[in-house]
């Protein structure tokens, strides 16, 4: 069967598997106090208000206790009371707008299953991008996509009512556009994705800005100044509209202006009143290696990421589209996020860019048998970890916010990872060891790529073009 027919079938199959398996997470409680907890009730109540009242105020929903079907414990106060008795959730409104219809028609279960459907759409887009933009064989891309999206944290956030999965979908769409010819359709997708990100959450603004800069530089390099000017003007207008709307609706530059927590400290305190940026720098490693809140304990395949990144730094024409927003997301999670140890499932701040990391990893593994085997084994470990979490959640009381340290098999990996919530001498010794390991892996990936590139150049392969029209198509550094 030709690829043009096989790829759509694979996309549908992968999307269906991810949506169905991810949707099983709706049966696990967020906390013992409810099926939705922490920020989730605010999103759901706002969605309900949009459906029933056509406005963002959740004051009447709070007064009527409309959260009780999905949150039985007392609901923490997040909203300030505004003039006229209005209460606006301090969360950007695009996610509630996406969930308004399913929440109104089917309640919290329909809203969570809609999130799972968005995770399925994300998986289909990752698969398409891997095949059509990066030239990965369809079977390898499908397997890699399934392992990526059926492992924590993406699988967990498939039913968590947070903007992480929709933001990952927007980021991946923008990257797919950047990897393509960036003509009218691609530019439209790029603009829509970049504009959507801050409306999902202002914390995604650095990733959105990075994607915009990469696009403008690409248009400038090819001499298309008219398109570059049009994109810049459109994004500038969208930025002005965002700022004006927030000033009029929320009374500040961000939604945090309506947050009860920020009444005395101001909305910019969301990044901390006196942040220790030097101390936060440890998160560059901790976001990967923390024994509970890192990526590695739940999906060991991310241990290969430094190898792939090191390789992609060598002469890859696509590196800016994937690595630049990935770095922006990592730096945001490191230096702007108030904490990495919060009331959420680990990896939350990185979900927005994890599909880009996954694409780099899939492409790196695609054309070497040993890499494929190692990637498949480590990827399967992440999928098995998610299956264990589902079983623990259904039968042993584990929730998505509390009790993760009791997950089956988790004690095995905790022993070799640092606990940054207990920053003693032992923690920093293990931290230093992991810094050395990760740097060595990145260096090894780069060295291997340079050696591979030299061998292919000697054979006269470098600089040829593939069927997708990309120069340097031989896969330098992959």
Per-residue pLDDT of the chain (478 residues; tens, 9 = 90+): 667 778 999 999 999 999 999 999 999 999 888 899 888 999 999 999 999 999 998 888 888 888 899 988 888 877 877 776 678 888 999 999 999 999 999 999 999 999 999 999 999 999 999 999 999 999 999 999 999 999 999 999 999 999 999 999 999 999 999 999 889 999 999 999 999 999 999 999 999 999 999 999 999 988 889 999 999 999 999 999 999 999 998 888 888 888 777 766 777 778 877 888 888 999 999 999 999 899 999 999 999 999 999 888 876 667 788 999 999 999 999 999 888 888 899 999 999 999 999 999 999 998 777 889 999 999 999 999 999 999 998 887 889 988 887 787 777 777 789 999 888 888 999 999 999 999 999 998 888 877 655 555 444 444 433 333 333 333 323 2
pLDDT of residue 454: 54
**Longest CA pairwise span in the chain (Å):** 74
pTM above 0.85, yes or no: yes
pLDDT of residue 447: 85
Q: Which two tokens stand for residue 407?
A: 């997950």
Specify if 159 maps to a domain.
yes
pLDDT of residue 472: 38
Q: What is the pLDDT of residues 440-465, one digit of tens each?
A: 999 988 888 776 555 554 444 444 33
Specify if 467 maps to a domain.
no
pLDDT of residue 303: 94
Cα-based torsion angle of the residue sequence 168, 153, 112, 23 in order, rounded to the nearest 10 degrees: 110
Inter-CA distances, 390 with 31, 335, 344, 387, Å:
14, 32, 16, 5
CA angle 236, 239, 244 (to 5 degrees): 125
Specify if 96 maps to a domain.
yes
Q: What is the pLDDT of residues 93-113, one digit of tens each?
A: 999 999 999 999 999 999 999
CA angle 212, 213, 218 (to 5 degrees): 100
Q: How many domains are there within the chain?
A: 1
Specify if 474 maps to a domain.
no
Specify if 13 maps to a domain.
yes
Specify if 83 maps to a domain.
yes
Specify if 149 maps to a domain.
yes
pLDDT of residue 465: 37
Residue pair 355/172 in contact (Cβ under 8 Å)? The answer is yes
Q: Which two tokens stand for residue 402?
A: 């509390």
Burial code (b: 16+ CB inside 10 Å, e: under 16) for 84-98 equals: eebbbbbbbbbbbbb
Inter-CA distances, 101 with 36, 60, 437, Å:
18, 19, 48
Task: Round to whole Å and give the CA distance between 246 and 458.
Answer: 58
| Residue linked to tokens 């207990």 | 422
Residue pair 58/46 in contact (Cβ under 8 Å)? The answer is yes
pLDDT of residue 187: 95
Closest CA to 448 of 327, 318, 320, 314: 314
Closest CA to 129 of 460, 359, 421: 359
pLDDT of residue 455: 53
Give the domain range for residue 190. 3-458
Name residue 88's beta-bridge partners. Answer: 57
Specify if 23 maps to a domain.
yes
Task: Round to whole Å and give the CA distance between 257 and 268.
Answer: 9
């Amino acid at each position: 069967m030709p690829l043009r027919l096989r790829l759509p079938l694979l996309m549908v199959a992968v999307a269906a598997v991810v949506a169905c398996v991810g949707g099983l997470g709706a049966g696990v409680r967020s906390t013992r106090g409810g099926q939705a907890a922490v920020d989730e009730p605010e999103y759901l109540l706002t969605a309900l208000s949009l459906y029933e009242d056509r406005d963002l105020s959740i004051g009447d929903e709070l007064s009527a206790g409309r959260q009780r079907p999905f949150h039985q414990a007392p609901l923490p106060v997040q909203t300030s009371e505004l003039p006229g008795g209005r209460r606006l959730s301090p969360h950007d409104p695009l996610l509630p707008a996406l969930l308004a219809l399913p929440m109104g028609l089917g309640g919290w279960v329909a809203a969570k299953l809609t999130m799972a459907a968005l995770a399925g759409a994300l998986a289909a887009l990752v698969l398409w991008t891997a095949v059509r933009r990066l030239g990965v064989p369809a079977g390898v891309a499908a397997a890699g996509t399934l392992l990526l999206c059926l492992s924590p944290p993406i699988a967990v956030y498939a039913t968590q009512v947070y903007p992480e999965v929709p933001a990952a979908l927007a980021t991946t769409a923008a990257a797919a556009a950047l990897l393509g010819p960036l003509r009218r359709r691609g530019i439209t997708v790029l603009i829509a994705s970049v504009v959507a990100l801050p409306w999902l959450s202002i914390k995604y603004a650095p990733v959105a800005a990075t994607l915009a800069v990469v696009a403008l530089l690409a248009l400038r390099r090819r001499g298309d100044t008219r398109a570059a000017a049009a994109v810049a003007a459109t994004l500038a207008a969208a930025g002005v509209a965002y700022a004006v709307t927030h000033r009029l609706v929320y009374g500040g530059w961000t939604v945090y202006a309506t947050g009860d927590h920020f009444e005395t400290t101001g909305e910019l305190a969301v990044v901390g009143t006196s942040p220790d940026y030097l101390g936060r720098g440890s998160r560059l490693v901790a976001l990967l290696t923390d024994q509970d809140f890192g990526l590695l304990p739940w999906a060991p395949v991310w241990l290969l990421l430094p190898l792939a990144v090191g390789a992609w730094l060598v002469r890859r024409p696509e590196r800016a589209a994937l690595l630049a927003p990935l770095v922006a997301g990592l730096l945001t999670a490191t230096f702007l996020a108030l904490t990495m140890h919060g009331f959420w499932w680990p990896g939350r701040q990185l979900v927005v860019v994890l599909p880009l990391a996954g694409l780099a990893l899939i492409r790196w593994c695609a054309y070497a048998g040993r890499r494929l085997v190692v990637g498949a084994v480590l990827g399967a470990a992440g999928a098995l970890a998610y299956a264990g979490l589902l079983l623990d959640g259904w039968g042993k009381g584990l929730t998505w916010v509390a009790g993760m340290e009791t997950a089956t098999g988790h004690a095995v990996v905790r022993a070799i990872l640092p606990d940054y919530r207990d920053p003693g001498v032992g923690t920093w010794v293990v931290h230093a060891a992991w810094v050395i390991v990760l740097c060595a892996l990145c260096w090894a990936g780069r060295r291997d790529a340079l050696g591979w590139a030299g061998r292919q150049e000697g054979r006269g392969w470098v600089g040829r073009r593939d069927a997708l029209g990309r120069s340097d198509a031989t896969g330098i550094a992959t």
